[in-house]
Amino acid sequence: MDHPTEVGTWKQIATLGSGSFGTVSLWRNQETSDFIAIKKCKFRTPQDLSYKQRERWNMEVNFLKSITHPNIIRYKQIAPVLYEMLNKYNPTYLPLLPMEYCRKGNLRRYLMSEQIKLCGLPETDVRCIIEDISNGLKYLHSKNITHRDIKPDNVVLQHCDKRRGNTVYKIIDLGYARELHPQGTLSFVGTLHYLAPEIFYSKQYGPPVDYWSLGIMVFEIITGVLPFLPELKPFERFEKIKYKGPEDINIYITYSGAITNSNEIKRENFISVCLKQNLELWLRKVLQIDPAKRIFSNNSNPFDYAKYILDKRILQVFSVYKLEFYSYEVTESTLWSTVKKWISRDIKIAKSELLFLIETPQLVTMTCPDDSLVPFLDEDSILYVYKKDDLFSHKLSFSKLPHLIKQLFQGPEKFQARSTKQTYRQALFFTWSMLNMQTKLKNAITTLIAYLQSSDSLMILQEIRKEFELTVERVKNVLINRPRANFNCLKLAECMRNYCQIITELEEQQKSLKGLKKDLKWTKSRLNEINQGVTTVFEEYNLDKLFTKLSAKNFFIAPQNDNDLNVLLVAMRTLLDDFLKVIHQFGKDQRLKIYSKDCQIILEFPNQLAPWSDEFRMNLRKTSIRFDLIKERHQAISPTTSMIPGEDGTSPESLCNSQETDKIVKENQFERCQFAELIAERILAHQEFVDSSMEYLDSYTII
């Protein structure tokens, strides 16, 4: 019996889902824009329902009413007017189940939203899903309730501004959930692909059935495929599962048709090696045939162990020289020196030959001092490792093509139809891997350029500038702002000659600084050219366009006949061929090699600057010491008259106080006046020097 689609201010705007038992419709309040999802039994009469079905429905409603947890769908009160109207069109008389509306849909839809997700979800999503569903199941188990039907269809995505990725994951459909009795349960429920063996074989079971189902779902979200022979019929599949080894977490059919067991997660995935290895250990426990063995040491449950794994800090590393990815577990007490030792060991290059830089999501470039602790980094942060004498290789390696892609290039006539989807997955992952490597290489180069633009050269020269400024300012204060006092002319002349020598020395040092600025100006200009050139190179060899074509929603359609298969294989092979050609051309381009050499020269500049800086500072220090000695002698002169005759209205004769000086002045008055004029000229010249020096220093921009 169909109900009205408008009730008061409420309007039904969509049907969110329909199963064998009920339908979920979405209602919106047209005044408040509030949403509510309402689950209603789809049967036409009460007689169509068995006792167990009615019991299951009522239990789900009661469970949701009594449960409050952020990772379990929330029961929501329905408006009375809407409840009354919908109940009039409810022939089974089963209670309505109003719930919060999770606008991002369910996990199954999310897994199918993009072709690339055939290879699994990004690490951020994997982490959030494991954390949220583990928390939700742990809460249910604490209430002595088992869900019994964990699968992507029963996980919904709710928007959350405070959450990384803006998504929180919630468990829905508690229709199969029930309280467990001490002796266990025997009813056969759940979806077959996610069903624990003990349920399939009608044995008594308990909470560990949820461990198994969660393990199946986790494997699927990591790899995009189910772990145990999804192609086979249920009985055949479970017979193979029954005899798998205790460490096996994957059973699959090879290209040759052989059934193979594996204790590893498939290589086509987007999680770090560290997380992969930890989750493999976790999966080997939760996917044990014997439910009693699905626990960890000290009887800890899989939910607590999953939290232990997710709490680990993982450092992501990209070797720019080898074009390889690494990851390492670090703690709050891990030093950068330890991390560098690990990396040096793994890439087989001495630590002294490597440069380490971190790129954060805020595009901040950080260096890694050996004696400092590894900071808490965002998951998107990455440590780039460069080889100093070959800063960035640009030869993207594709020598190890996946097996099915090699088969594809041998010709469609040799290709097996049942491997088509698996081949497409390998093609997707291979092209994504090459694109990701190219993207990381570009980011590594721009990170290096940013580092060079703000390198230690700037700090060294800023310190030199300050020292130079202080010395010039001291000389200026004595010569330009000298006191109006009387001095012994002969001693004054000696002091002034020494001051002139100091000024000459400072002028030479200023020339040295100007020569250095010329080198730095080239550095700044060249780095800008390299930055622009790198952008141009990566735009010319753009892999993203080809990857977008291959990963388009309508590219892969399951072939219905041989003709469809041939068309698909030819299209796939053509795109892959174009992809490999671009990579080959990119590897032959010499521009990045030239940029690498220039960056290497600029990287060495601070090391070359260090001895120059030491010598400059030493000379400046000597000048400063000599200046202090001259200043002391200058201040020791007895004041008798002004430095320049007639400057303050006094006569030239008043410059001398002693008889000896008066005699010399009278006998050599012309020479004395000439010397006074020379001093005045030198002071003016010094003023010009000081002004030009300060103007130079004020405009002194390095990089």
Span between the terminal Cα atoms of the chain, in Å: 76
Residues taking part in catalysis: 149
Q: State phi, psi for 40 to the nearest 5 degrees.
A: -135, 140
Q: What is the DSSP string of 384-449?
A: EEEETTB--------SS--HHHHHHHT-GGG--GGGHHHHHHHHHHHHHHHHHHHHHHHHHHHHHH
- The CB density around residue 414, as the number of other CB atoms within 10 Å, is 8
Cα 418 to its chain centre, rounded Å, is 38
475 Rama sector, left if φ>0, alpha if ψ -120 to 50, beta otherwise? alpha
299 Cβ contact list (under 8 Å, min separation 6): none
Cα 423 to Cα 117, 560, 579: the distances in Å are: 14, 17, 16
Q: State phi, psi for 6 to the nearest 5 degrees.
A: -135, 130
| Distance separating alpha carbons of residues 331 and 329, to the nearest angstrom | 7
Tokens 């004395």 -> residue: 672
| Distance separating alpha carbons of residues 576 and 568, to the nearest angstrom | 12
| Distance separating alpha carbons of residues 490 and 643, to the nearest angstrom | 11
| Distance separating alpha carbons of residues 499 and 489, to the nearest angstrom | 15
Helices 302-310 and 273-286, packing angle to 10 deg: 180
Give the CA radius of gyration of the chain. 40
